[in-house]
Chains A and B, each alone.
Chain A
Amino acid sequence: MLSILRTLWNVLLHMFHRRETVQYPEEKPYLPPRHKGRIILSRDPDGGERCVACYLCAVACPVDCISLQATEDETGRRYPEFFRINFSRCIFCGYCEEACPTYAIQLTPDFEMGEYHRQNLVYEKEDLLINGPGKRAGYNFWRVSGVQIGGKDKGEAENEAPPVDLHSPLP
C-alpha cells in the first residue's frame, strides 16, 4: 500500500524533470559518419565509376532490393548498365557495403528520404552516383588489382607485382 503511494508520488515528481524528446524536424540528432543511411555509388580518385558490376552486393542483400545489369566498355572493363536500388525494401543493413570488393557502394548518414509515391523510392544509377570517393579517399581498385590489356597479362608490366595466387594456402 505504502509502495503504491510512493510510486504515485515519484511519478508525479517527474513533472519537474527535463523531457527527453528530441523535437526532430527543428532539432536534428547527431548522426555519426558511419551511420547506415541512404546508399550511394562512389567514384575512384580519377573520376571513374568504381562499380565493376560483380553482383556481389545484389547477392549479399537479404531483401533482394539491388538490381543491376553488367556490361563492358570497349576496353573490356565491366560496369553496370543500370544499377537500381529499391529503397522501399532496403533495410539499411550495410551488407552490400561489406560485400563490395571495390568500395563502390557505401551507406551515408542521411535518412530523410520520405516520398509520397513508392515508385519514387526506386533510385537509378544517376541518382546513386556521386562525384567523389566517399569514405575511401585514395582507393582505386584497378590500381591495386592491375589491368589486363591486349598482349599483357596482370602483373607483367614494369613496376607491377604478380597477382596473388588465390588458390595457394600461403600468403
Chain B
Amino acid sequence: MNPILKSLLILFLVIFIPLNLAAGLIWLERRLLALWQDRYGPNRVGPFGVLQVLADMIKIFFKEDWIPPFADKAVFVIAPAIIMITVLMSFTVVPWAPGATVANMNIGLLFFLAMSSLGVYSIVLAGWASDSKYSLLGGLRASAQMLSYEVFMGLSLMGTVLLTGSFRLNNIVDAQRHMWFVIPQFLGFVLFLIAGVAETRRLPFDLPEAESELVAGFHSEYSGMKFGMFFVGEYLGVILISAMITVLFFGGWRGPWLPPIVWFALKTLCFICFFILLRAALPRPRFDQLMSWGWKVMLPLALINLLVTGAVALAART
C-alpha cells in the first residue's frame, strides 16, 4: 500500500477509535458500576442499553452552550480543547500492534509524560477562567495534585527505561519478549497505576471534581459540548493510561495465538475495568492525605525502586 495512504489510515483510526471507545466507555462504566452495586444501569435504549450513549450525545449537542458573563471568554473556550488535544496527541505514540503507530519516536515515553503534564493546563485554566469559587478551588487542587503525582509518575517509569535502555515504546515492548516488566518492576507498576489514576482525576483521586464538596470542581460552569469534552477527555485519559500500562508493564501486543491487536485490546480492557472497579469501591481521601501520600510515601518508593533497579542493572552488566 502507498505509505502515505497507510499512515493517513492509521492516523484516522487512532483518532476515530479512541474517541468512539471513550463514548462506549461511558456506557461500560455505568453498566459495570451498576453490576457491582447490584443494579442494572442503563438497559432500555437499544440492546443492553448501548444506544444510551448515542441518546446522551444527541442530548448534549442540543443543550444550551452557556458561557457565563463573568468568565474569561477566550480561555474558557480554549480550556476544554486543550485536554482533548493533549490526550489525543499522547495516543500518537502508543504502539497498538507491530507497525501500527502514528509516530514511532525515539522519545515516545517522554512525549507521553510531557503531554500528560500539559493536560494540567486545561484543568487549571478552566478553573481560573470560570471565575467562580468552586471552579477555582478545583483548579487549585488539580494543579497541586497533578504536579505532585507527575513527579513520581515519571520516576516510576524510569525502571522500565533502565531495563530496556530506550525511550522508544516499540523497544520497550520488544524487551518484554521473555518476561513482562510487571515482574521485575512490580513496584514501578503499582506506583504508575496510582499516579495514572491521579493523572486522569478518576475516583478515588477525583478531588478536583469532588462533586460532593465542589459542585463539579473545575467544570462547574461548563455546559453543553464543552462539558462533554471534559467528560470525553477524562475517559480518553482512562484509555490512554490503561494502554500505557499494557505497553510498559504487560508486554503490549505480545501474546500467543491471538492477533496482536486483540491481545492489546484485551489487556487494555482489563485495566479499564480495574479503573471502574476503583471508582465503585474506594472512598475519596482528604486533600492533605492525598498530598502527603504523594510526597512522603510514593516519591521515596519510586526513588528506591529506581535506585535498586539501577544497581541491579549495573551489576548485571559488569
Q: Which residues on A are within 8 Å of B, measured CB to CB? A: 4, 7-8, 10-12, 14-15, 17-21, 23
Contacts and interface: CB of A to CB of B under 8 A. Distances in A.
23 contacts: A7-B281, A7-B282, A8-B278, A8-B281, A11-B36, A11-B277, A11-B281, A12-B36, A12-B277, A12-B281, A14-B35, A14-B36, A14-B37, A14-B38, A15-B36, A18-B38, A19-B34, A19-B35, A19-B38, A19-B39, A20-B38, A21-B38, A21-B40
Contacts of A17: 38
A4 B37 CA distance: 17
Contacts of A8: 277-278, 281-282
Contact of B39 (A10, A12, A15, A20): A20
Interface string B18-39: 0000000000000000111111
B187 interface: no
Chain B interface residue bracket vs A = 10 to 19
Which 9 pairs across A and B sit closest by C-beta, in order of nearness? A11-B281, A21-B40, A14-B36, A20-B38, A7-B281, A8-B281, A19-B38, A11-B36, A21-B39
Chain A's interface: helix, strand, loop or mixed, by majority? helix
Given A8-B278, A12-B36, 18 more contacts: A7-B282, A8-B277, A10-B281, A11-B36, A11-B280, A11-B281, A12-B277, A14-B36, A14-B37, A14-B38, A17-B38, A19-B35, A19-B38, A19-B39, A19-B40, A20-B39, A21-B38, A21-B39
A11 B281 CA distance: 6
Interface of B: 34-40, 277-278, 280-282
A21 B37 CA distance: 10
B22 to A, nearest CB: 24
B85 to A, nearest CB: 33
Determine which residue in A7, A11, A20 has the highest number of CB atoms from chain B within 10 A of its CB, and name it.
Answer: A11
A86 B36 CA distance: 41
Contacts of B278: 8
A118 B242 CA distance: 48
A23 B41 CA distance: 11
Nearest to A7: B281
A126 B313 CA distance: 89
A10 to B, nearest CB: 8
A19 B282 CA distance: 21
A110 B282 CA distance: 40
A7 B34 CA distance: 16
Nearest to A22: B40
Contacts of A14: 35-38
A159 to B, nearest CB: 63
Contacts of B38: 14, 17-21
Nearest to A18: B38
B204 to A, nearest CB: 9
A7 B278 CA distance: 9
B35 A23 contact: no
Contacts of B280: 11
